A = this chain, B = another copy of it.
Amino acid sequence: MSFLYSKSSEYIIRALVYLSNIDKEEYIMIKSISEHTNIPHPFLSKIFQKLAAKKWIISKKGKRGGVKLIADSSKLTLMDIIEWSDGVKDFSQCIFGDRECGDIIPKHDNSVWYPEKQSNCILYDKCNRFKAAIIDFFSNTTISEFKEHNSLFRQ
């Protein structure tokens, strides 16, 4: 299980934050976004193709073309982006193992495993607090919270 996000997701977040800081009426060239966000241009182009299919942005070909954010950045969370880009994460899984967390325990003779509602995991609470911190941050942080926050970008 992997909790955090891929490079692609990081790029998407950075690019969308950059776009959300731009006057909505203009189209911005991917090349320009690439330079300001320090994301490789061809790679960013691919990303924007998918973002357009997802309808979080619209694009325009040709002279004075580019891309424009159309999603509501105050509703677009990091979780939305990461799960769409990297795939949905299963926070019920043990972060160290390959099985469900807290619902499998051994019988007393230790011979058979069977499911049980209560957890016998020593780290159950500790892990859950950790997972909760991650879920909380991702789910409750939106692109619009970065508004005017341009220290992420190059001049």
A133 nearest in chain B by CB position = B133
Picked from B3, B13, B113, the residue with its CB within 8 Å of the CB of A155 is B113
Q: How would residues 23 to 55 of chain A score, 1 for a CB under 8 Å from any chain B CB and 0 otherwise?
A: 000000000000000100000000000000000
Copies of this chain present: 2
**Chain B residues within 8 Å of A17, by CB:** 96
Contact of B96 with A123 in the complex, beta carbons under 8 Å: no
Contact with B along A79-97 (1 / 0, CB 8 A): 0000000000000001011
Instruction: Name A's B-contacting residues (CB within 8 A).
Output: 1-4, 10, 13-14, 17, 38, 94, 96-99, 104-106, 110-113, 120-123, 126, 129-130, 133-134, 137, 141, 145-155
